[in-house]
Amino acid sequence: MLEAFEILTTSGVVLWSKSYAPVGSHVINSLINDVFIEEKVVPQSGPVGGAFPVYKKEKYTLKWKRIKEFNLIFVAVYQSLLHLGWIDKLLENISTIFIDVYKDQLKGNRARISVYKFDAYFEQQVRELEDNTGSFTDGLATGTDDKKDALVSSDNGGPPPPPVPGLIKAQHQAAPSGAISDEATPPGTPDISRTSTPVTGHLLAGKAGPAGRVSRRARKAANASANASSGDEISRKGGKSTPKSSTKKMRKWDADGFADEDDGVVLDYSAPADQTSADAPVVEAVSQDDMGRRTGKGEFVLKDLGDEVHNILDNADAEKGKDSALSGVVGSGFNAIGGFFRNIVGGKVLTEADLQKPLKAMEDHLLKKNVAREAAVRLCEGVERELVGKKTANFQSVDAALRIAMEASLRKILTPTSSLDLLREINAVTAPTTKQQAPRPYVMSIVGVNGVGKSTNLSKICFFLLQNNYRVLIAACDTFRSGAVEQLRVHARNLKELSARENVGEVELYEKGYGKDAANVAKDAVAYGAANKFDVVLIDTAGRRHNDQRLMSSLEKFAKFAQPDKIFMVGEALVGTDSVMQARNFNQAFGSGRNLDGFIISKCDTVGDMVGTLVSMVHATGIPIVFLGVGQHYGDLRGLSVPWAVNLLMK
């Protein structure tokens, strides 16, 4: 069953939402974070061949549709266990209807504050699509139909009586539970809801304690207000004609008593239409013929709403057909001339055909900057997705628009989600502010392919730390290649000399010779560092080919034994297409739950402006670049400056 449906703007405002079960707002927030902002998750199209991309979070599956023209996002949330074939259709239809109905309001500047009374349309669509599929929800549907029938026939006697004012207030207090009582349990016969439980096996089983309490309250309320609730039923049917004071919000209940009652929503067995009954205090006397008709099943359907919705959908289809028909001989000639002028003057709505050639040029440009093909293609696809359907600004050519979009895209990919401040992190670990944490050395380890400069960059980091007066222990865990320990020894000697001369930090080398297991040496080094009050332990590892499973598998043990606070991978700026696989394989080598923490791109001084490796590596993993090696000296280590990198790439 559908859990929730939301219509939100890119500026983060929920214009309209409907939830059948409480779905935490973090679910949709993480969709926005992971897919739209960080682009961590590559949206995959649905397994059943659905048209819309799918995102999975916890037990929910989210499908969404973006309407760029109005900056709207339509999101449908449902349980991952279920395969709802009609979600695609629902998204398509709802987006069309919503935009058609509220076109004027969306265009105006008050779009964010207007109230969208969209419930009736939505329910109509859900009901229709569910009926069409005629699937597992049949049992549920008939169950609710019966109940509705009972309710509707019971109040056939005349216009519904005005609700008792005091009662409405009480309902308002316990809004969710009130809603349940009105819809799910007909007055006096609360057992029906229980019997329908096995039929709707996919529904959440409510928490026993609060649920029981809520339903008791609900029953009480329902018993007290048999007439009022049926009045509400009518008002819900009336849909458009009755003013709804407010729609139910997905309220975040705080730490007060209302949280339990919120849980009670899972008791909602008659899934569609749990929403509007709690409010609508004013009920107009509406004659039944005006409102709708009864179907063969006894279902009470709005008369005009269905027709209106169908009209809207048909119109949309017809327009689509017209568009394709117009691109005939005459149309294309006219469009070509218009497009040519618009290209100069601006104000042109971009299409895929417009972008094809400039995008190809842009892709070539990126490839020339040493960006891996995979990354370049994905960047271009992202930019294309961004631009298609957009209007260029005045006097802006397609190329200029593309360039701006690409720059923004590069900037977004390179900017880290949270900036790393190494010194402060070290301080937090070695001198914790709270009493619970015992001070311990900060452990960093460096991994990478052979010959990329692991030891060199390690000594550069060591030099930087020494400048800040830390006591550093270098652990030589390359027990494999001959000469590796001696190399580090030379670095350690140099650094010791330098630090002694400037009277800054201290450095020591921890070595255990060759042939030992690297993970054990690392573990011993950390223990040694902790015992001797070192601030930082830097672990050098053996270089390994990223596609050699035998060598890579030892990294998992290494991460488990040494427990490094940070694992940095060194990559050369010289490497081309291989950078993507390197980054990806190393990122996965540490087992589940442990990833790389950052990249160090070495040898940046040797490539000039061809710094595409930066983009390739970040693109492959979503892990930020922390340092750049820009020379042969110990001091030639730099932080990443995003504007600098973007400038070089776009030059």
Write the DSSP assignment of 314-358 as a string of letters: HHHHHHHHHHHHHSSHHHHHHHHHHHHHHHHHB-PBP-HHHHHHH
Of 420, 416, 414, nearest to 644 by C-alpha is 414
Q: Which of 156, 394, 418, 436 binds another protein (CB under 8 A)?
A: 418
Is 347 among the residues that bind another protein (CB under 8 A)? no
Is 246 among the residues that bind another protein (CB under 8 A)? yes
Q: Which of 112, 303, 357, 385 binds another protein (CB under 8 A)?
A: 112
Is 644 among the residues that bind another protein (CB under 8 A)? yes
Residues 48-87 that bind another protein (CB under 8 A): 71
Asked whether 185 and 215 are in contact (CB, 8 A), the reply is yes
> Least CB distance from residue 426 to another protein, whole Å?
9
The span of 96-104, 105-113, 526-534, 552-560 binding another protein (CB under 8 A) equals: 105-113
CA gap 12, 548 in Å, rounded: 45
Is 412 among the residues that bind another protein (CB under 8 A)? yes
Is 303 among the residues that bind another protein (CB under 8 A)? no
Site track 467-486 with another protein (rule: CB under 8 A), x = hit? xx------------------
CB atoms within 10 A of CB 246: 12
Q: Which of 24, 201, 439, 639 binds another protein (CB under 8 A)?
A: 639
Q: Which of 79, 627, 634, 649 binds another protein (CB under 8 A)?
A: 627
Helical ranges in 454-517 per DSSP H: 454-467, 484-502
Q: Which residue has 């939505």 as its token pair?
A: 122
Q: Which residue has 């048209």 as its token pair?
A: 51
Residues 491-510 that bind another protein (CB under 8 A): none
If the CB atoms of residues 148 and 244 are measured against another protein, the closer one turns out to be: 244
> Least CB distance from residue 252 to another protein, whole Å?
8
Is 385 among the residues that bind another protein (CB under 8 A)? no
Is 167 among the residues that bind another protein (CB under 8 A)? no
Is 411 among the residues that bind another protein (CB under 8 A)? yes
Q: Which of 59, 249, 294, 303 binds another protein (CB under 8 A)?
A: 249
Is 4 among the residues that bind another protein (CB under 8 A)? no
Q: Which of 110, 322, 501, 633 binds another protein (CB under 8 A)?
A: 110
Provide the pairing of β-strand 60-67 with 53-57. antiparallel
Q: Under DSSP, is residue 418 helix (H, G, I), strand (E, B) or coil?
A: coil
Is 383 among the residues that bind another protein (CB under 8 A)? no
Asked whether 538 and 462 are in contact (CB, 8 A), the reply is yes
Cβ-in-10-Å burial (0-12, 13-18, 19+) of 626 comes to: buried
Is 427 among the residues that bind another protein (CB under 8 A)? yes
Distances in Å between the Cα of 219 and the Cα atoms of 180, 211, 239, 257 are 9, 12, 25, 19
Asked whether 523 and 445 are in contact (CB, 8 A), the reply is no
Which tokens sit at 125? 């669509």
Q: Which of 1, 2, 8, 126 binds another protein (CB under 8 A)?
A: 8
CA gap 83, 62 in Å, rounded: 12
With contacts defined by CB under 8 A, how many residues of the chain interact with another protein? 59
CA gap 261, 404 in Å, rounded: 50
Asked whether 275 and 248 are in contact (CB, 8 A), the reply is yes
Is 37 among the residues that bind another protein (CB under 8 A)? yes
> Least CB distance from residue 194 to another protein, whole Å?
33
Q: Which of 335, 397, 415, 430 binds another protein (CB under 8 A)?
A: 415
The span of 27-35, 147-155, 364-372, 522-530 binding another protein (CB under 8 A) equals: 27-35
Which tokens sit at 334? 């006219």
> Least CB distance from residue 427 to another protein, whole Å?
7
If the CB atoms of residues 235 and 409 are measured against another protein, the closer one turns out to be: 409
Which tokens sit at 172? 């308002």
Is 641 among the residues that bind another protein (CB under 8 A)? yes
Is 28 among the residues that bind another protein (CB under 8 A)? yes
Q: Which of 1, 62, 376, 637 binds another protein (CB under 8 A)?
A: 637
Q: Which residue has 């929503």 as its token pair?
A: 265
If the CB atoms of residues 216 and 249 are measured against another protein, the closer one turns out to be: 249
CA gap 541, 555 in Å, rounded: 9
Collect all residues with Cβ–Cβ distance below 8 Å to 356 and sequence separation of at least 6.
none
> Least CB distance from residue 112 to another protein, whole Å?
6
Is 464 among the residues that bind another protein (CB under 8 A)? yes
Q: Which of 228, 444, 628, 649 binds another protein (CB under 8 A)?
A: 628
If the CB atoms of residues 112 and 368 are measured against another protein, the closer one turns out to be: 112
Q: Which of 416, 496, 563, 594 binds another protein (CB under 8 A)?
A: 416
Write the DSSP assignment of 43-86 as a string of letters: PEEPTT--SSEEEEETTEEEEEEEETTTTEEEEEEEETT---TT
> Least CB distance from residue 641 to another protein, whole Å?
4
Provide the pairing of β-strand 292-294 with 300-302. antiparallel
The span of 122-130, 344-352, 460-468, 527-535 binding another protein (CB under 8 A) equals: 460-468
CA gap 453, 471 in Å, rounded: 23
CA gap 57, 79 in Å, rounded: 10
Q: How many CA atoms lie within 13 A of 421 on its CB side?
A: 5
Write the DSSP assignment of 565-578 as a string of letters: SEEEEEEESS--TH
> Least CB distance from residue 58 to another protein, whole Å?
16
Of 42, 43, 60, 40, nearest to 52 by C-alpha is 43
If the CB atoms of residues 112 and 493 are measured against another protein, the closer one turns out to be: 112
> Least CB distance from residue 470 to another protein, whole Å?
11
Which tokens sit at 431? 């001198």
> Least CB distance from residue 572 to another protein, whole Å?
16
Q: Provide the binding-site residues for another protein, judged by CB under 8 A.
A: 8, 10-15, 17, 25, 28-29, 32-33, 36-38, 71, 109-110, 112-115, 246, 249-250, 252, 254-255, 408, 411-412, 415-419, 421-424, 427-428, 464, 467-468, 604, 627-628, 630, 637-645
